[in-house]
């Protein structure tokens, strides 16, 4: 029963990591930009959920829909002001620009809301379902279900819609896509906006389960990079499965070894994957150069 509880807890935690990472791998796969401010976007989502609940008593899960247009605008503005200007300028420029953006967002939150830990005190924040002796956290279960839904919707969108096929065409050959009258800038704008919305929703769904403070995005941002590399750069399905694997590794290592060392174990997995299979478990060789290539 203990092992089953660990598996369930690991999968639920992995679903959280997958939900955070899906937006990151989408942005990298299409724009080929590694967004080091991804964790801070998550932090903004958590604060959005907190203030919507505190000021207007909007339930967290409802605020995920209410804040979606705001995140779309936020992502579009960031793309126009920062990301668009760094594309084609080299990896160093992109790294410094997104790291600087993350620092700006983190310090802005610190100035506006101080460094105090904040929590959403609601009836469902600590809700637990007990099924046959297995305890299931309701907020984490909701995040897991949303992660599955988002991954599935994005997979269908990229494979079945004209806009999604345009994104894949841009990934495979931007010059040929441009020759076919595909607006590259619009595709990049859509992609970054969708990725921002994904991580914003992730932050809102995580708000009831974690303390909210300006630096919380750092740890989640690091985990999302581990997940993306493990699953395969640019692979949507790989990001989801990679999140589940990292969740299981963290839960089992924390239980059998030490809670303080659980992060060391998934970073060990991260290093081993980089050494033994740089393209990730579910990615393709060369994905770091061509993004999705063939979507898996």
Q: What are the tens digits of pLDDT across the range 85-104? A: 998 888 899 999 999 999 99
Range 32-54 average pLDDT: 94
Q: Which two tokens mark 105?
A: 């967002």
The answer to whether 247 and 19 are in contact (CB under 8 A) is: no
- Closest to 220 (Cα-Cα) out of 236, 199, 238: 199
Q: What is the CATH number of domain 2-290?
A: 1.10.3470
Range 131-157 average pLDDT: 88
Local confidence band at 79 (pLDDT 50, 70, 90 cut-offs): very high
Local confidence band at 193 (pLDDT 50, 70, 90 cut-offs): very high
Q: Is the pLDDT score of 282 beyond 80?
A: no
Local confidence band at 265 (pLDDT 50, 70, 90 cut-offs): confident
Task: Identify the residue with better confidence: 269 or 53.
Answer: 53
The residue length of the chain stands at 296
pLDDT for 248 equals 93
Range 66-84 average pLDDT: 95
Instruction: Tell me the domain boundaries of the chain.
Output: 2-290
Range 187-205 average pLDDT: 94
Q: Which two tokens mark 5?
A: 């509880």
> Mind listing the pLDDT tens digit for each residue in 228-238?
988 887 788 88
CA 66 from centre of chain: 19
The answer to whether 217 and 92 are in contact (CB under 8 A) is: no
pLDDT for 249 equals 92
Q: Is the pLDDT score of 270 beyond 90?
A: no
Residue 165 backbone class (left: φ over 0; alpha: ψ -120 to 50; beta: rest)? alpha
Range 252-272 average pLDDT: 85
> Residue 272: what are its φ and ψ, rounded to 5°?
-60, -40
Q: Is the pLDDT score of 286 beyond 70?
A: no
Q: Is the pLDDT score of 192 beyond 90?
A: yes
Helix (H) or strand (E) holding 231, with range, is helix 216-231
Q: Which two tokens mark 210?
A: 């974690």
User: Does pTM surpass 0.85?
Assistant: yes
């Amino acid at each position: 029963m203990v092992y089953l509880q660990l598996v369930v807890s690991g999968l639920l935690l992995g679903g959280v990591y997958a939900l955070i990472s899906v937006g990151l791998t989408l942005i990298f796969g299409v724009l080929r930009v590694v967004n080091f401010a991804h964790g801070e976007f998550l932090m903004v989502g958590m604060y959005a959920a907190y203030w919507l609940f505190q000021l207007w008593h909007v339930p967290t899960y409802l605020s995920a829909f209410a804040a979606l247009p705001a995140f779309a605008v936020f992502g579009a503005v960031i793309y126009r002001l920062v990301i668009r200007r760094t594309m084609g300028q080299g990896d160093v420029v992109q790294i410094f620009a997104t790291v600087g953006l993350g620092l700006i967002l983190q310090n802005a939150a610190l100035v506006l809301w101080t460094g105090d830990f904040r929590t959403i005190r609601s009836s469902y924040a600590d809700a637990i379902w007990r099924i046959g002796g297995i305890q299931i956290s309701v907020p984490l279960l909701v995040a897991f279900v949303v992660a599955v839904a988002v991954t599935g919707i994005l997979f269908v969108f990229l494979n079945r819609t004209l806009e999604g096929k345009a994104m894949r065409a841009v990934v495979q050959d931007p010059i040929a896509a441009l020759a076919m009258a595909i607006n590259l800038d619009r595709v990049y704008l859509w992609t970054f906006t969708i990725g921002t919305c994904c991580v914003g929703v992730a932050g809102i769904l995580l708000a009831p389960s974690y303390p909210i403070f300006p630096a919380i995005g750092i740890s989640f941002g690091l985990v999302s990079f581990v997940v993306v590399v493990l699953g395969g750069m640019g692979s949507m399905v790989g990001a989801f499965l990679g999140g589940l694997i990292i969740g299981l590794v963290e839960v089992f290592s924390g239980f059998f070894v030490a809670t303080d060392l659980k992060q060391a174990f998934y970073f060990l997995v991260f290093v081993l994957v980089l050494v033994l299979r740089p393209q990730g478990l579910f990615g393709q060789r060369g994905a770091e150069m061509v993004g999705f290539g063939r979507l898996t």
